[in-house]
Amino acid sequence: MEIFSGILQGFTTSLSITNLVYCFIGVFIGTLIGVLPGIGPVGTISLLLPATFRVEPVSAIIMMAGIYYGAMYGGSTTSILVNIPGEAASVVTCLDGYQMARKGRAGAALGISAFGSFIAGTVGVVALMFLAYPLAKLALNFGPPEYFALMCLGLAILTYLARGSMLKALSMALVGLLLSFIGIDGITGLPRFTMGMVHLMDGVGLVPIAMGLFGISEVLLNLEEVVRRDVFATEIKGLLPNREEWRRSKWPIVRGTIIGFFLGILPGGGAVISSFISYGVEKKLSKTPEKFGTGMIEGVAGPESANNAAVGGAFIPLFTLGIPANVTMAVLLGALMIHGLTPGPMLLKEHPEVFWGTVTSMYMGNVMLLALNLPLIGLWVKVLKIPYGILFPLIILFCLIGAYSINNTAFDIGVMVIFGLIGYLMKKFDYEGAPLLLAFVLGPMMEQALRQSLLLSHGSFAIFFTRPISAVAMGLAVALILSYFLPFLRRKRPNLEEDSV
Amino acid sequence: MNAKPAISVVVALIALMLALTAPCWSADAKYPTKPIHMWVGFAAGGSTDICARSVSAIAEKSLGQPIVVENKPGGGGALLLGLLASATPDGYTLATTSDTPYTRAPHLINVKYNSMEDFTPIVRLGLQRQGIVVRADSPFKKWQDLIDFARKNPGQLTYGTPGPGTTPHLAMEKIAIQEKVRFQHIPFQGDTPAMTALLGGHVMAASTGALGWMQHVKAGSLRLLLIIESEGMEGMPDVPTFKKVGYGFETPTAQMISAPKRAPKPIIDKLIAVFSEAMMTPQFQKVARDQELLSVKPLAGADFQKWLQSQYNMYGTFIKEVGLQKEAK
């Protein structure tokens, strides 16, 4: 019953005119910065932080939370339209979303990601309301061995991410892992592969790599093929998903929501990994996995739902334990503290209006986002009609500003340009960017968790198999990999028999 | 329909982006005549960032010019000091960092600056509280219990820290030398991951900044065994300090503001006066308390430089003693 009085109190707070206005400002800014590649919620929230000093704490938090989940809505837009991920969590949306746009289904792709985001976002909020406290305890069961096993499972997903040659996909994953080694070694504190460059001490940024590999390379590739222009000019049939597309998206949205919410709770995991895993799951379950990467709506619906559900999940450790699950949450934690609130076990006791007010405002915010985003689809689709001579320089300009704004350094622009060239060559030789990025995201956490685990176990690998959660995740990872390679083995067997005969 | 509305949206978006990232330019005259840039060596939302933003928000009122806070994180603040060393020394570029890139980083990595020569320290904002905590259900009721366990079980006591070479890590290694015991260090990336691992029972103890554990100690889920400093803590008179258990050393971490070397003396004096005053306002004192900053009285000018030099020397000796490696040239 305590929950219901809390929810009631929350709605009284969040439904006040002032808070509704702040919520709207938040989701509106969030949508904008989500659309703009590079400029993410982290930078925006920290820029707006001083402006909220004179505002009621709960209103400030409502607005900043709105920026965060608003960005998750907007992030898919550029992925779908021009193959440039607006946020790291929308990288995987490029794979099929962009292809849908090329086939004249940009509206459907944008529509399904808006609806998927709405459904997942709303379910995530409801789950956050009822499950926050029990789940917070569950998240604590994840120690270094569990994280390592989970990361192995994530890498095993790789076998489903690859479209063409498995060998090429694995080699790209290795490149991703190698790239993730750059920077300060988390165990010894010594810099690795930095070539004496201080900029490389914290490693290479994910966003400049993603913008380069996907966006810049796409622009370069299109420069050669002016004729293909008419692919985009094909008439855009209907702005919203049709009945068939809805039928195909239904279950991916449900699965994406569940995956996103649970991975969102885990510190470090969150939106990016859950979007990759959702994509892998949809491809695995699909009857036509070979069609993924050519414009399958399942490959948009699942990941876009997952990254929005992850938002609800990410608030759980922040509000209940004071543990930020990702960088954006860390900035929000700082914002709460500036307003004199310390997130953690005492927050619900001392400031219930902040907890319930913010959570219930997210419900309103999701409704606003849907209302805001659906009419915009028509406008976004028209972006595709802008002549290439204007569109391409604009894309490059957005990417340059976006890359600079991440850390206020021109170094990231260089990284983006270099990876743009690499991405161009990769596309020419049929190497895929997605496995590289997945491995790059998982790499640092995986390495840190592996070495921490071995320090804990004094060097024994048994630690990964004696703890139940990690044993299950490891088992799943092995099963995933075997299920990929078994068909090969079976297919080869008859040949062997023939040979022996 | 044509593409015009879409283009105008795009143009509006560019305008927004430029507005978000544009620096401000204006002519020179009597200091300050244009906005001052306050670089922060760590990411937004962290302790250093919060200190920088709140002290800047107060100081800009007395300076009469806005202070633009920009985060330039990287290499634990070493990236920022490298940039600051080559910034124009005109008082329009300042930096807020912890003392890490000044006093410890040069002993561990090859930095691109001379931390004792290239900068003018302006003011020390405070010292970060630190302590060693265990879970509430831990058998270690007091500090001596933990030491006794470590003595009987060499290398079995696992403890988490915010990272290798951080002050809470150095403190534990110094203790191990003094007590002649062996701990098993498990480095994490920051206070929070270390605290999460302790709450989940994956490590037996954690040595971190107070921001990580204060809420949990108050809520009763963690127990504070030892405070890594000679002063006790308000509201927790029973918790022993380093001094009380007989450790004759401290491992402080400071938050501080500095400027490039060779900025005109009148400007530096003005900045020292303005920031010292800002620090003593009730607004900043509250922020400092929330951030678990200790001894918030301004330390500035030559005294501050002397303190930095002593810390630099001390950590140089510490790091050699506990056997941490330095990056190869």
Residue A196 has pLDDT above 90, yes or no: no
Q: Write out chain B residues lying below 8 Å of A191, CB-based.
A: 75, 109, 327
Q: Do A401 and B70 touch (CB under 8 A)?
A: no
Helices within A103-242 (DSSP H only): 106-140, 144-156, 158-161, 166-180, 206-210, 217-224, 229-233
Count of CA atoms in the C-beta half-sphere (13 A) of A223: 12
Q: Which domains occur in chain B, in start order?
A: 30-128+253-321 (3.40.190.150), 130-227 (3.40.190.10)
The pLDDT of A120-135, averaged and rounded, is 86
Q: Do B45 and A36 touch (CB under 8 A)?
A: no
Residue A337 has pLDDT above 90, yes or no: no
- Which residues 258-297 of B are in CB contact (within 8 Å) with A? 286-287, 290-291
**Which has the higher per-residue pLDDT, A207 or A70?**
A70
Q: Do A202 and B164 touch (CB under 8 A)?
A: no
Helix axes A93-102 and A57-82, enclosed angle (nearest 10): 50
Minimum distance, in Å, between the CA of residue A169 and any CA atom of chain B = 30
Minimum distance, in Å, between the CA of residue A68 and any CA atom of chain B = 14
The least confident of A69-73, A486-490, B73-77, B161-165 is A486-490
Using CA atoms in the order B119, B120, B126, B132, what is the torsion angle rounded to 10 degrees?
30
Q: Do A342 and B215 touch (CB under 8 A)?
A: yes
Q: Do B108 and A190 touch (CB under 8 A)?
A: yes
- What CA–CA distances, in Å, run from A272 to A125, A175, A210, A437, A442? 19, 19, 12, 10, 10
pLDDT digits (tens, 9 = 90+) for A233-255: 555 556 788 888 899 999 999 99
DSSP state of A233: H
Tokens representing B132 are 């060693």
pLDDT digits (tens, 9 = 90+) for A12-51: 888 899 999 999 999 999 988 888 776 778 777 877 776 7
In this predicted structure, what is the pLDDT of residue A176? 93
- Output the tens digit of pLDDT for each of chain B's 329 residues: 445 566 666 666 666 665 555 443 333 448 899 899 999 988 766 788 888 988 998 999 999 998 988 888 777 888 899 889 989 999 999 999 999 999 999 999 888 899 999 999 999 999 998 999 999 999 999 999 999 999 999 999 999 999 888 999 999 999 999 999 999 999 998 888 898 899 999 999 999 998 889 888 988 999 999 999 877 777 788 899 998 898 988 898 999 999 999 989 999 999 999 999 999 999 899 888 888 888 678 899 899 999 999 999 999 999 998 888 888 77
Minimum distance, in Å, between the CA of residue A213 and any CA atom of chain B = 22
Q: Do A53 and B44 touch (CB under 8 A)?
A: no
Domain limits, chain A? 2-500
**Which has the higher per-residue pLDDT, A53 or A277?**
A277
In this predicted structure, what is the pLDDT of residue B1? 41
Block residue for tokens 């414009």 = A295
The least confident of A153-162, A270-279, B89-98 is A153-162
Report yes or no: B85 and B260 within 8 Å, Cβ to Cβ: yes
- What CA–CA distances, in Å, run from A394 to A37, A390, B49, B198? 12, 6, 33, 49
Query: Measured between CB atoms, which of B184, B189, B218 is closest to A186?
Result: B189
* A196, closest residue in chain B (CA to CA): B110
